[in-house]
Amino acid sequence: MVSLLKRRSRSSRTTRKIPAPWRIRGGKLLDRLGQLGLPLGLGLVIGYWISDVGVAWMPTMLEVLSIYLVGALLLILVGQWLKGKVIRAADEGGGIRKRTVILLVLALVAAGLRLGVFWAEQPTPLTSRDPATLQESFALDTRQYLELDREMERLLRSIEGAELFAPNRPRQPLAAADESLLRDSWAALYDGAFALDQLRIFYEDWYRFDLSRHQRDRHVRSYLLTFAAELALYEKSLRFTRLVLRNPESETFLDAPHPDLDLPEHTFSRFRQEFQGTRDQARVVAGEQYLRWLDETFHARRLVRQWGLERLWQSVETHLSTIHGVGALERANQTVRADLQLVKRTVRRTWFPAQKRVAAWMGEVKTRRIGQYLISPEQLRVTERELEPGDVLLSRKNWYLSNVGLPGFWPHAILYLGDPEKLSQRFDTAEVRSYLAGVAREELSLPEYLRRSYPAAWARYQAGLHGEPIAVIEAIGEGVVLNALSEAAGDYLVALRPRLDAVAKAQAIIEAFDHLDKPYDFDFDFATDHALVCTELVWRSYRGADGKDGLHLSLVKVAGRLTLPANEIARLYAEEYGSPEAQFDFVYFLDGRERELRAVVASEEAFRGSHQRFKWDIFQR
């Protein structure tokens, strides 16, 4: 009975089909040949390379190795198939054996290696040059690298001691000299970085040259030059950024567009992202390790010395020493901040248009007395008889939503020109002509100088606006424009006269013409001049500089930005009143009376207290 059960049990199992003896013997032979071939082939390939008989490891040896690996693995697979060990028997669960899957994956990897070798064999601008031409180009490019590195180093050392970048300097607006220093330094550094980056890119295919003896010199030379350029870019950009970040106004100024330098907006943030990001930090770390390995394995520094390139190696070491001196924590911080530049630009591109639309809408919406102002045309004609070109005007128009977001009673500042005839009469002096002769190299009046320098703007100025003479320059929602006084005034108007000579006022007017047609600055940022608000136009026009007397209008911090509300000019007048340091004289004041729907001529004393008024004038008058 037990014997019968055993026979039934054996018959119920799925029996494995045993291959023919010749297949088993053949399979074992092929399997052994394939398994033996793998280490033998690898040993032969490595032996060829170590012996360095002139056979390149890449692509020649890698190509042989990949083909050999594919062949050996296929032999093993065929051997396994002949032995019947490719598919598991049904009683073992069926399916392809794990060993077979591993062999197939290895075969695919070897085939992929062959494709990679094929890709590496494709010529590049670096590898397509013959050795003699490449050596000549390398010598020229090395000299260019050393010269660029030296000039950028000289530039950085010259500005590292500048007062603008003093570590404990309080936050303050950039002076004209500061802007000039920043602009010139940035242009020179950016040009040098661009040239260095072109060198780095050209030689970054160094790895396509083999380390065997007949290509080792090209491999080491190309690697050393591209790594030197990479280090110079990283080190110089890191040092320059550290300086700029000491003064937030400098960072904002550099990120503004500079058409005269052919630099678009956000150039500085892209500069940081391009040369100080995670990729660049990884290149520095990995590149240093590879350089050490080249020296330890192939005595690269000795070879470089024999080739007369010791200065290039020393330059690399100098850069590495400077980079390590910055500190790993600070470099990591700079890396993170550099990588975030793209995010900041994306957020700004999303937020700023919405902010601009809302601000423009608020500047156009008037809730009451639409189209009517308290100051009459007759009052403006009387006022104009009191005004002189160069006067600073403050104005206010009630009931506009934009007044909500502007601090203080006075929201708007204007630079008065008068009509072309009045402008000509005021500045027809020997001092102004002498100044313009020094600028233009010939005897000119101020109107002639403006006409030659700004022909389109001068034509608009002479043509007038809607039958009225143009008399002011102001920054409004449409940008920096020439306008009639009736358009610029409104419900309140005061005129202040700077205590400056005719030359300083002529310089201010020329400066204002230089800003015409620039857009309105909805960021209210005084760090840049590519877009301006009303008070910034006055501030920049009358800002002092070398060879130019000016007004000292201190900026105040509003919402984290240094700016100049128009109400601050009224407050400054009140604070300086009666002192020898007073910068303005009072000229004329038209004070609105909302409840009476008119404006009246008011006294200097009334104006002196106007900066303390509540901005919603309807509640007090």
On the question of pLDDT at 55 being above 60, the answer is no
**Residue 144: per-residue pLDDT:** 94
Lowest mean pLDDT among 351-365, 436-450, 517-531: 351-365
Q: What percent of the chain has pLDDT over 90?
A: 40
pLDDT attached to residue 604: 94
Instruction: Give the phi and the psi of residue 95 in degrees, each rounded to 5.
Output: 90, 175
CA distances 98 to 94, 165, 387, Å, are: 11, 66, 96
Distance between CA atoms of residues 215 and 298, nearest Å: 13
CA–CA gap between residue 47 and residue 56 (Å, rounded):
12
Sequence-ordered alpha helix ranges (H) in 365-465: 377-386, 420-426, 430-440, 446-453, 455-463
Point out the least confidently predicted range of 47-61, 235-249, 484-498. Answer: 47-61
- Check pLDDT > 50 for residue 358: no
User: What average pLDDT score do residues 58-65 get?
Assistant: 60
pLDDT at 355 over 90: no
Checking if the pLDDT of 301 tops 80, the result is yes
Assigned token pair, 248: 């937030």
Residue 468 has pLDDT above 80, yes or no: yes
Looking at residue 203, what is its pLDDT?
93
Task: State the Cα–Cα distance between residues 602 and 610, nearest whole angstrom.
Answer: 11
Residue 137 confidence (pLDDT) above 70 = yes
Which candidate, 392, 438, 444, places its Cα nearest to that of 548?
A: 438
- pLDDT reading at 366 higher than 50: no
Provide mean pLDDT across the span 485-497. 91
| Higher per-residue pLDDT: 298 or 1 | 298
Which pLDDT score is estimated for 122? 67
Report the alpha-carbon distance of residue 393 to residue 416 in Å, rounded.
Answer: 7
Interval 509-566: pLDDT, tens: 999 999 999 998 877 778 888 888 999 999 999 999 888 899 999 888 876 678 899 9
Average pLDDT (25-32) is 74
Check pLDDT > 50 for residue 5.
no
- The pLDDT assigned to 362 comes to 46
pLDDT at 8: 46
560-601 pLDDT tens trace: 678 899 999 999 999 999 999 999 999 999 998 888 888 999
Q: Which residue has the tokens 């026009």?
A: 541
Residues 168-207: tens digit of each pLDDT: 777 777 888 888 888 888 989 989 999 999 999 999 988 8
Residue 239 has pLDDT above 80, yes or no: yes
Is the pLDDT higher at 191 or at 368? Answer: 191
Backbone torsions φ then ψ of 412, nearest 5 degrees: -140, 140
Question: Do residues 229 and 212 lie in contact, with contact meaning Cβ atoms separated by under 8 Å?
Answer: no
What is the domain partition of the chain in residue ranges?
Answer: 16-121, 131-339, 374-619
Residue 425 has what pLDDT? Answer: 93
11 pLDDT band, cuts 50/70/90, is: very low
* 506 compared with 11, residue with greater pLDDT: 506
Average pLDDT, the chain: 81
Domain 374-619 matching CATH 3.90.1720.10: the answer reads: yes
Read off the amino acid at residue 264. P
Residue found under tokens 């330059």? 315
Flag whether pLDDT at 7 surpasses 90.
no
| Residue 553 · residue 546 · CB < 8 Å | no
Say if residue 412 is exposed, middle or buried (CB neighbours under 10 Å; 0-12, 13-18, 19+).
buried
Angle at 464 between CA 460 and CA 467, to 5 degrees: 145
Return the minimum-mean-pLDDT range out of 97-106, 352-361, 563-572: 352-361
Ranges 3-7, 84-88, 165-169, 207-211: which has the least confidence: 3-7
What average pLDDT does this structure show over 130-152?
92
Q: How confident is the model at residue 160 (pLDDT cuts 50, 70, 90)?
A: confident
pTM above threshold 0.85: no
